[in-house]
Chains A and B, each alone.
Chain A
Amino acid sequence: MVEPQHIGGGKKCIVLHPSDNTATALADLQKGETLCLDVGEESRSITLREPIPFAHKFAILAIPPGEAVRKYGQLIGEATQDIQAGDYVHIHNVVSKRTRGQGR
């Protein structure tokens, strides 16, 4: 359920739940930056393919079109196009599943 487990102390981004496929920037991050992430017990290295502003998200796994985008361990929307690890994730490539007529 909604329970963030892992958050980066002194890190540049956080992954709020081990089942997430997105991370959130804790500072303005540059294109080409390589970040080390703790996702549950696992460590991953991601190179950013785009700049990511503070509090915005990037993918830490590939997300094919139609697949769930996850944060807080929850589905926050669906990919509308091919998203690769390190890509900026926002309204240009994610759609809500809960706006009227789509999710209910």
Chain B
Amino acid sequence: MRNTGHELTFMGYRRANGEVGVRNLLGVFSLVTCANEAAVRIGSFVPGATVFTHQNGCGQTQADLEVVTRTLIHLGQNPNLGAVLLVSLGCEGLAPARIAEGIGRSGKPVEFVRIQQEGGYFGALSEAGLKAQKMAQAVTGWSREKIGVEELVLGLKCGASDPTSGLAANPALGKAVNRLIELGGTVIFGETTEVVGAEQILAQRAKNDDVARRLLALVDRLENRVRASGSDIRGGNPSAGNIAGGITTLEEKSIGSIVKSGSAPIQDVYEYGERRQGRGLFFVDSPGREPEILAGLVAAGAQIIAFATGLGAPQGFPFVPVIKICANYKTVQRLPDFIDLDVSRIISGGESLEEAGERIFQEILQVASGKWTKAETLGYSGSTNIYTTGPIV
């Protein structure tokens, strides 16, 4: 260890249950796709409110409704939220009371409104507005205090990738991840799709045989699902675009993605929507697509997300800051309103991976302490969903 946790700190919110948030917001959650529009409107009533919408909650298999339920509970338990207001239609397949109870176990205030019982749209807006006003005001009673870096929980993602991602942005992020893990912190990554081809390499990093076996089982299950729909991940990869960009094999492509997770052992593997327990490096089953994986990382407990991109991905998350890291100089110049951290000098010269990794680490601490990301300044945070795998019925 280069440092003890006590020398490296950030300013966070210590919640009633002892967990730490890096933002302090009122979450307005839609429970079902039919309530999304009301939730968005309610979220606009008071400052400090943030809205989570998705395309689920009804007309799904029981197994999928269970996934949606646990995901909403764990999103609501995320310590970046000081209180949660649930917006229900009333006839959805989910049980609002169960979700409210689950979120409430984290010790934060939870309320819900039912559109069908509050007299429709305006009735619900009026009732929810009064509740949101009271809750948002209560949330502002929390203040930041000094927190050791070992209490940081970082999620990882790469997307809109290009050849600079695997060469520079992901390896540099891996350095920052190693540093955080060395200091006793927690990192969560996923993107099961991206592991195909490198699953044996990743499995070697599992803490024990059981974790390795479960990791490989997640990859097999995903491949079987894709095959059942008539496609083949191994057959279609690397794509023609990947090959033109210099990627020769599927394993090279996959390693270029998982390199962002550094080199620490994987402590445990979780299903989508589950909340990780303990510290260290964890894997959560998820697709690579942004709306679903970002929600999966946050449900698993991520307070903050580091997102490596080559071509420039826009989205943040409603209550978790998403830091965009880019090693493509042209993208950094073209999309200054999306990119938080320019690590293009790894390629153009002058900066080592270690130096870039240290800058990423420092940026994570600053954002954890309250500095806004580009996505937060834009309010670009509505591209969200929950990952389900069964049919819509």
Contacts and interface: CB of A to CB of B under 8 A. Distances in A.
Interface residues of B, number: 39
Contacts, number: 107
A14 B167 contact: yes
A69 B247 CA distance: 13
Contact of A55 (B164, B198, B204, B205): B164
A78 to B, nearest CB: 9
A55 B246 contact: yes
Contacts of A74: 198, 201, 251, 255
B178 interface: yes
Interface string B152-189: 00000000000110011001001000100000000000
A100 interface: yes
B350 A76 contact: no
A9 B350 contact: yes
Contact of A2 (B163, B245, B250, B259): B259
B241 to A, nearest CB: 12
B368 interface: no
Contact of A76 (B163, B204, B255): B255
A77 B168 CA distance: 21
Interface of A: 1-4, 7-11, 14, 16, 24-26, 53-57, 69, 71-72, 74-77, 89-91, 94-100
21 contacts: A2-B255, A2-B261, A14-B167, A25-B246, A69-B248, A71-B252, A72-B255, A76-B249, A77-B252, A89-B248, A90-B248, A91-B248, A95-B249, A96-B248, A96-B249, A96-B250, A97-B251, A98-B197, A98-B198, A98-B249, A98-B250
